[in-house]
């Protein structure tokens, strides 16, 4: 078992210099059917999506403990004994303390808060890392912003973020969760990064992530409410954005309104296109397992082209290298595409 985990970890070596938050084991593709192992700094999360490895649960936890010397290991069972998927998964601190389940991780130039016991999701979706990093790079290209670690100690003309004003490219993060895309956008030089989410608690976590990265809060950056509601308000107000990320859940409910990704996503893409500036970019993604990448990318492009005739697909892709075997199981799937206009 230790050899399998060691081999899986070594496959993720290209990520070691980029982040300390990545998936070490992604189910059967790494020799552990129905099981995933995620690293969040010195905290580790084990999830069981099937019954195959449950009899060896203790053995697996002991192997992870011996190999990585973790501060904490949290185990979550995502499947009931009858085989039904659980949104409120049972959680157990298998090693360490409940307090040690909370901490921070690094991702490129950014830092993020995580709490492995807060909900089934610890605060950062690992499978969107490569897109978050690209969002930062794209805003750096727009603004000529230099990463903080690369700046001379007395760089002429540098100003504190609070004095920088809000003139410059704008970013919109719909279904923003803990605002990780927006942190990267702001680090890349976005003047404003607006976050729309129905959860006030989640947006508060986004504000904490801003503070962790030394980012001031600017007017219009946090909107609690339905993403569609915000987009229609922005259309009415004539707001425009230079980058938009639309990463919705498969299903959502807010104030009696239901969002179903199959039915409502492409119409929302078309409406978002109306508030996208020329030369801007638009990333759309989904974890809905019934979507096929080619047709998804084609449908997104068609929706954007209904507003921007010269729109083109820059890329279409699935999960990053730490999600070995991506697309082969319902718990490890992603379709994502980025359109430039």
The answer on pLDDT for 173 being more than 90 is yes
The answer on pLDDT for 241 being more than 80 is yes
Residue 153: which pLDDT band, with cuts at 50, 70 and 90?
A: very low
The answer on pLDDT for 24 being more than 90 is yes
The answer on pLDDT for 157 being more than 60 is no
Host H or E run for residue 222: strand 222-224
Superfamily, domain 126-149+162-340: Vaccinia Virus protein VP39 (3.40.50.150)
> What is the C-alpha separation between 157 and 142, in angstroms, rounded?
18
| Contacts for 156 with CB less than 8 Å, ≥ 6 apart | none
Number of H helices, E strands in the chain: 8, 16
- Tokens standing for residue 135: 């969002």
- Tokens standing for residue 142: 């727009």
> What is the C-alpha separation between 282 and 312, in angstroms, rounded?
10
- Tokens standing for residue 55: 């009899």
CB atoms within 10 A of CB 341: 18
Write the Ramachandran bin of 107: left for phi over 0, alpha for psi from -120 to 50, otherwise beta. beta
Q: Which pLDDT value is given to residue 69?
A: 96
Q: Which pLDDT value is given to residue 1?
A: 95
Query: What percent of the chain is modeled with pLDDT above 70?
Result: 91
Architecture of domain 2-115: 2-Layer Sandwich (3.30)
Domain ranges of the chain: 2-115, 126-149+162-340
Q: Which pLDDT value is given to residue 166?
A: 67
Q: What is the arithmetic mean of pLDDT over 299-317?
A: 98
Q: What is the arithmetic mean of pLDDT over 179-203?
A: 97
Q: What is the arithmetic mean of pLDDT over 272-290?
A: 96
> What is the C-alpha separation between 219 and 200, in angstroms, rounded?
17
Q: Which residue has the tokens 């219009």?
A: 220
pLDDT in tens, 65-104: 999 999 999 999 987 655 566 667 789 999 999 999 999 9
Going by C-alpha positions, the residue among 180, 113, 189, 105 that lies closest to residue 151 is 189
Q: Which pLDDT value is given to residue 83?
A: 58
> What is the C-alpha separation between 335 and 316, in angstroms, rounded?
7
Strand partners, 259: 252
Q: What is the arithmetic mean of pLDDT over 203-217?
A: 98
The answer on pLDDT for 9 being more than 60 is yes
Going by C-alpha positions, the residue among 56, 48, 59, 38 that lies closest to residue 81 is 48
CB atoms within 10 A of CB 300: 29
Q: Which residue has the tokens 């290991």?
A: 73
Biggest alpha carbon–alpha carbon distance for the chain: 64
pTM for the complete prediction?
0.92
Q: Which pLDDT value is given to residue 256?
A: 67
Going by C-alpha positions, the residue among 176, 141, 301, 308 that lies closest to residue 246 is 176
Q: What are phi and psi of 13, to 5 degrees?
A: -55, -35
């Amino acid at each position: 078992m230790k050899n399998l985990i060691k081999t899986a970890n070594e496959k993720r070596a290209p990520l070691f210099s980029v982040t300390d938050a990545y998936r070490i084991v992604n189910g059967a593709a790494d020799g552990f059917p129905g099981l995933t192992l995620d690293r969040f700094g010195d905290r580790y999360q084990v999830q069981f999506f099937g019954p195959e490895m449950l009899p060896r649960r203790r053995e697996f936890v002991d192997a992870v403990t011996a190999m990585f010397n973790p501060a904490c290991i949290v185990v979550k069972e995502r499947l009931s004994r009858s085989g039904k998927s659980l949104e409120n998964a049972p959680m157990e601190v298998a090693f360490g303390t409940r307090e040690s389940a909370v901490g921070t991780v690094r991702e490129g130039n950014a830092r993020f808060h995580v709490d492995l016991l807060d909900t089934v999701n610890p605060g950062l979706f690992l499978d969107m890392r490569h897109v978050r990093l690209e969002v930062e790079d794209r805003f750096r290209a727009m603004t000529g912003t230099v990463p903080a670690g690369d700046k001379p100690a007395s760089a002429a003309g540098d100003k504190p973020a609070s004095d920088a004003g809000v003139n410059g490219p704008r970013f919109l993060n719909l279904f923003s969760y803990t605002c990780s895309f927006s942190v990267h956008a702001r680090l890349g030089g976005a003047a404003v990064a607006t976050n729309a989410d129905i959860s006030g608690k989640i947006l508060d976590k986004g504000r904490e992530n801003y503070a962790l990265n030394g980012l001031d809060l600017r007017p219009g950056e946090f909107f609690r409410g339905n993403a569609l509601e915000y987009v229609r308000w922005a259309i009415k107000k004539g707001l425009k954005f230079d980058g938009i990320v639309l990463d919705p859940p498969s299903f959502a409910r807010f104030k009696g309104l239901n969002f179903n990704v199959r039915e409502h996503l492409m119409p929302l893409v078309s409406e978002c296109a109306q508030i996208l500036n020329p030369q801007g970019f638009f990333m759309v993604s989904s974890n809905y397992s019934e979507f096929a990448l080619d047709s998804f990318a084609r449908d997104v492009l068609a929706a954007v082209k209904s507003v921007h005739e010269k729109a083109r697909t820059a890329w279409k892709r699935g999960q990053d290298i730490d999600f070995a075997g991506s697309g082969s199981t319902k718990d490890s799937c992603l379709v994502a595409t980025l359109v430039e206009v």
